[in-house]
Amino acid sequence: METAVAAHWLGFPKSQVHGVSLFGEIERLIADWVEQARQWSHTGSWPWFDMAEPTGTIAGTFRGSCHSRPQALNGGGLGGEHGPLPVSRESGFYHEPVMVNEIVEFLAPAPGRLIFDGTLGGGGHSEALLRRGAQVVAMDQDAHAIRHACERLKTYEERFCALHGNFRRFPEILAETGVLGFDGMLVDLGVSSHQLDEPERGFSFQKDGPLDLRMDQQALRTAADLVNMESEEELERILREFGEEPQSRRIARTIVKARAKKPIRTTSDLARIVEGVTGRKGRRHPATLTFQAIRLAVNDELAALRQFLELAPRWLKPGGRLLVISFHSLEDRITKQAFNHLATPFCDRPEWPEPRPNSDFCMTLVTRKPVEPSAEEIARNPRARSARLRVAQKLSKTTA
């Protein structure tokens, strides 16, 4: 019976179910599948990974916990150690990175230093680090971005690699590489200019397009699915918690009434519904907070940030720095609270007789307040105006 079930599952006709020959074929198929999976998840030949010194038995903690293996993309770009970072719209994927000078100053890239860029995007931050001799392991959940960044950075392929996946899953994705410690880690939580300007991605209501909003195009649920299927109560919660939208209840109620007549399929459909509820006041489009909330919900962005901030300190070498660029108050608040907790030696509660040691204490704050872009950068790139950078550093001797 088990043989017949195995044969059916593997696609064999019943006529081929006859003992040893079948199991030999099964063994061959499994071996082929394992080899394909190994090649799919293989991260490339990077001898410089041996330079990453372990800070503990970290890899074993996460090895084998992956649900689906990522695709590894070796890559690359533009050479040269000096000069401004080019931003090309002809390349098919363009994005001007924010606060590059500040990133370089805090991460201090140099030969022999290994840095993690959890949001590769157009490759601007990674290129700035590579130009100064650092080795960079990058990730992004947008496969389109990875392809173009790898082409851009191909000159540095001896010191650069890119992996497809969400930065919240970096331990299991990096488990195959043997990397056990970083000199610096960076995540930029903004949406790329290319994503905003590409109507078919649905990130902007300035141009009509499908209501998508997925960072990872392989993800199953789109913004249209959320808007048309969630309950009124859940929509209200999403708009209130993720968008801090004061009209969340009225907007949710109007969305439910509108979708009862016909599905809400495009960015313009949703923008018109929200504008009909709130009207236009000031320069900001009335649908801005609604789109922010739905994007955060579709991509589970705040939970991903919390998970990353919990895991990242374990992967920093002593003295290594963790940098987070956020673009709205929710992200910045989560980062601030996480950094403050990691940098606090003792915890206290009203019901405790005295403070107790904080078992998570392992960092020190490099920036007490968020660093903002310069006036010059904002004039050059207005989309940088909301960026806020926070930096924490791993203690030389930790209790973690």
Q: What confidence tens digit (pLDDT) does each residue in 161-190 have? A: 999 999 999 998 887 777 889 999 999 998
Q: What distance in Å separates the CA atoms of residue 236 and residue 259, rounded to the nearest whole number?
A: 15
Nearest to 224 by CA among 285, 269, 287: 269
Structure tokens at 34: 């394992």
Phi first, then psi, for residue 398 (nearest 5°) are: -120, 160
Listed in sequence order, the residues at least 6 apart from 130 whose beta carbon sits closer than 8 Å to its beta carbon are 109, 136, 153, 156, 159, 160
Round the CA-based radius of gyration of the chain to a whole number and report it: 24
pLDDT, position 285: 86
The CB density around residue 65, as the number of other CB atoms within 10 Å, is 10
Which tens digits make up the pLDDT trace of 156-166?
989 999 999 99
pLDDT, position 207: 73
* Mean pLDDT within 145-152: 89
Structure tokens at 103: 């990133």
Check: CB of residue 180 under 8 Å from CB of residue 52.
yes
* Terminal-residue alpha carbon distance, the chain: 52
pLDDT of residue 304 exceeding 80, the answer is: yes
pLDDT of residue 44 exceeding 50, the answer is: no
Check: CB of residue 202 under 8 Å from CB of residue 267.
yes
pLDDT of residue 133 exceeding 70, the answer is: yes
Helix H, strand E, coil C: the string for the chain is: CHHHHHHHHHCCCHHHCCCHHHHHHHHHHHHHHHHHHHHHHCCCCCHHHHHCCCCCCCHHHHCCCCCCCCCEEECCCCCCCCCCCCCCCCCCCCCCCCCHHHHHHHHCCCCCCEEEECCCCCCHHHHHHHHCCCEEEEEECCHHHHHHHHHHCHHHCCCEEEEECCHHHHHHHHCCCCCCCEEEEEEECCCCHHHHHCHHHCCCCCCCCECCCCCCCCCCCCHHHHHHHCCHHHHHHHHHHHHCCCCHHHHHHHHHHHHHHCCCCEHHHHHHHHHHHHCCCCCCCCCHHHHHHHHHHHHCHHHHHHHHHHHHHHHEEEEEEEEEEECCHHHHHHHHHHHHHHCCCEECCCCCCCCEECCCCCEEECCCCCECCCHHHHHHCHHHCCCEEEEEEECCCCCC
Phi-psi region of 388 (alpha: psi -120 to 50; beta: other; left: phi over 0): beta
Sign of CA dihedral 322, 155, 167, 173: negative
pLDDT of residue 191 exceeding 60, the answer is: yes
At 59, the amino acid letter reads: A
Which tens digits make up the pLDDT trace of 312-344?
999 999 999 999 999 999 999 999 999 999 999
pLDDT, position 376: 95
Which tens digits make up the pLDDT trace of 271-281?
999 999 988 88
Q: Which residue has the higher pLDDT, 293 or 27?
A: 293
At 128, the amino acid letter reads: A
What percent of the chain has pLDDT above 90? 57
The CB density around residue 321, as the number of other CB atoms within 10 Å, is 21
Which tens digits make up the pLDDT trace of 196-220?
556 555 566 667 789 988 888 888 8
Listed in sequence order, the residues at least 6 apart from 393 whose beta carbon sits closer than 8 Å to its beta carbon are 319, 320, 321, 322, 363, 364, 365, 366
Tell me how far the alpha carbon of residue 39 is from its chain's centroid. Answer: 23
